[in-house]
C-alpha cells in the first residue's frame, strides 16, 4: 500500500496528531490505477475507496489520506475531485449532499502533496456495493439499485412465477421483454485471433462474453422481473434487415462445448438468496439456461434465459459488500481494519431489525 518512506512518516505523524483512537487510513494511488484518458479509477482502486469510505461512515467517521504518483493529475485538486465525485455520491443517502458526508483539502508534507478526505459519520448504514442490479427497460441497461428496493424482494410476501428458465429462440428477439447486448467487434477479433493456443482462445472468448458484457449483472436484473426474460448476446449487424449478427466462435471451439463453459463460468459469478417467505431455495445453475443459436458457419447468437426469482440474485456469494471498522490485535499491538459484514448482519444493520433479516439459506 505504501509507496515511499515519506508516505509512511506522514501517515504515522497524522495518527499521532489525531489521537490513537481516531480512524485514520491511507491509500497510495498508483499510476496504473487511473485511466490516462478518462481519469477514472480502475475497478480495484474504486472498490478500495468505497471500502474505506463506507467503513468510516459506518464507524463514526475518520480521515482518509490519499497520495498519488506524480503525473496522474495535471492540477492536483481540480483533477482529483471529478475522479472521486462518483464514489462520494455512491456513499451518500438519498437526502444527502457531498458536503454532508465528505470534506477534503490538499495537505503538504515536505515535497509531497496529500489529499485529506474528512469522512463524516452517517446516520444510516452505508453499503459499499449492493452486488445486484435493476434493469432500465427503456434503454436495456442495468442500473444501480437501493436497499429500499431490495427489502421487498427479500422480506415481503410476493407472488412470483416458479417457471424454470425457458429458451425462446431467435424469433423472440424483437419482443419487449428481452435485453440485447452487442459485443464490440474488436473484442471478438482479439479473443478469436490474438491467442495462438486454442485452450486460451476458448477461455478468453468465454471470459469476454461473461465479464466483457457484464452478463452476471444483467442476470441479476432480469431475475427481478416477475416473469423473467431472455438476454441475447451478439454483434451489430451489417445487414439493414437484421438487428443482430452472431458472434464468431473461437478457433477449435464448438457450440456445445461453449454452452457448457459459459454456463459453468456464469454459475461462479452469481449467488441466490431466497425470500424469507419462500420454500424454494435455488442454486445458481437453476437461475438461467444458455443456448447458442447458429447464425452461420462457426458463429451464433447467445441466449441466456433467466427465470424469475423470489428473493434476490447477487454477483457475490456473500451478498452485498458492507464494511465497518474493527480493532484487531497482532500480539500486543492493536490496529484498526475494515471488516466485511456477513449477509445476515448486513440485513440487520441495513434494516435495523435483526429478527426479520435472519434468513435461512
Q: Give 259-277 pLDDT, tens digit per residue.
A: 999 999 999 999 999 998 9
Whether residues 185 and 103 fall in one domain: no
Residues whose CB is less than 8 angstroms from the CB of residue 315 and which lie 6 or more positions away in sequence, other chains included: 131, 132, 216, 217, 220, 269, 270, 271
Q: Highest mean pLDDT: which of 14-18, 69-73, 142-146, 195-199?
A: 142-146
Whether residues 227 and 243 fall in one domain: yes
Q: Would you place residue 324 in the very low, low, confident or very high pLDDT band (cuts 50, 70, 90)?
A: very high
Whether residues 30 and 92 fall in one domain: yes
Q: Give 197-216 pLDDT, tens digit per residue.
A: 444 588 888 998 998 889 99
Whether residues 81 and 150 fall in one domain: no
Is the pLDDT at 338 greater than 50? The verdict is yes
Whether residues 158 and 18 fall in one domain: no
Q: What is the share, in percent, of the chain residues with pLDDT greater than 70?
A: 80
What are 231's strand-pairing partners? Answer: 179, 304
Mean pLDDT across the chain: 83
Pick 12 or 228 by higher pLDDT.
228
Whether residues 287 and 358 fall in one domain: no
Whether residues 86 and 113 fall in one domain: yes
Whether residues 194 and 292 fall in one domain: yes
Q: Would you tell me how many other CB atoms lie within 10 Å of the CB of residue 229?
A: 25
Q: Give 75-84 pLDDT, tens digit per residue.
A: 555 578 888 8
Amino acid at each position: 500500500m505504501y509507496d515511499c518512506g515519506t508516505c509512511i512518516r506522514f501517515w504515522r505523524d497524522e495518527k499521532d496528531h489525531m489521537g490513537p483512537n481516531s480512524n485514520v487510513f491511507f491509500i497510495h494511488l498508483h499510476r496504473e490505477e487511473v485511466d490516462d484518458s478518462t481519469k477514472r479509477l480502475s475497478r480495484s482502486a474504486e472498490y478500495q475507496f468505497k471500502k474505506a469510505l463506507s467503513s468510516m461512515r459506518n464507524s463514526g467517521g475518520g480521515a482518509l489520506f490519499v497520495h498519488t504518483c506524480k503525473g496522474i493529475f495535471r492540477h492536483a485538486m481540480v483533477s482529483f475531485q471529478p475522479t472521486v465525485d462518483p464514489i462520494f455520491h455512491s456513499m451518500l443517502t438519498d437526502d444527502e449532499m457531498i458536503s454532508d458526508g465528505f470534506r477534503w483539502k490538499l495537505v503538504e508534507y515536505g515535497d509531497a502533496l496529500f489529499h485529506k478526505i474528512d469522512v463524516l459519520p452517517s446516520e444510516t448504514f452505508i453499503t459499499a456495493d449492493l452486488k445486484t442490479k435493476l434493469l432500465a427497460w427503456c434503454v436495456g441497461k442495468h442500473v444501480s439499485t437501493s436497499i429500499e428496493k431490495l427489502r421487498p424482494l427479500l422480506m415481503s410476501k410476493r407472488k412470483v412465477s416458479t417457471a424454470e428458465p425457458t429458451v425462446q429462440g431467435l424469433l423472440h428477439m424483437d419482443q419487449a421483454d428481452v435485453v440485447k447486448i452487442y459485443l464490440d467487434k474488436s473484442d471478438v477479433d482479439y479473443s478469436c485471433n490474438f491467442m495462438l493456443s486454442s485452450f486460451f482462445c476458448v477461455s478468453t472468448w468465454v471470459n469476454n462474453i461473461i465479464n466483457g458484457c457484464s452478463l452476471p449483472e444483467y442476470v441479476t436484473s432480469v431475475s427481478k422481473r416477475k416473469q423473467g426474460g431472455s438476454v441475447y448476446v451478439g454483434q451489430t449487424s451489417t445487414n439493414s434487415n437484421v438487428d443482430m449478427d452472431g458472434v464468431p466462435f473461437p478457433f477449435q471451439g464448438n457450440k456445445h462445448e461453449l454452452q457448457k463453459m459459459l454456463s459453468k463460468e456464469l454459475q461462479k459469478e452469481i449467488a441466490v438468496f431466497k425470500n424469507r417467505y419462500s420454500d424454494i431455495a435455488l442454486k445458481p445453475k437453476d437461475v438461467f439456461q444458455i443456448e447458442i443459436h447458429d447464425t452461420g458457419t462457426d458463429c451464433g447468437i447467445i441466449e441466456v434465459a433467466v427465470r424469475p426469482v423470489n428473493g434476490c440474485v447477487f454477483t457475490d456469494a456473500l451478498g452485498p459488500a458492507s464494511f465497518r471498522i474493527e480493532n484487531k490485535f497482532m500480539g500486543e499491538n492493536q490496529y484498526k481494519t475494515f471488516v466485511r459484514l456477513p449477509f445476515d448482519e448486513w440485513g440487520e444493520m441495513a434494516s435495523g431489525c435483526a429478527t426479520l433479516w435472519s434468513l435461512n439459506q
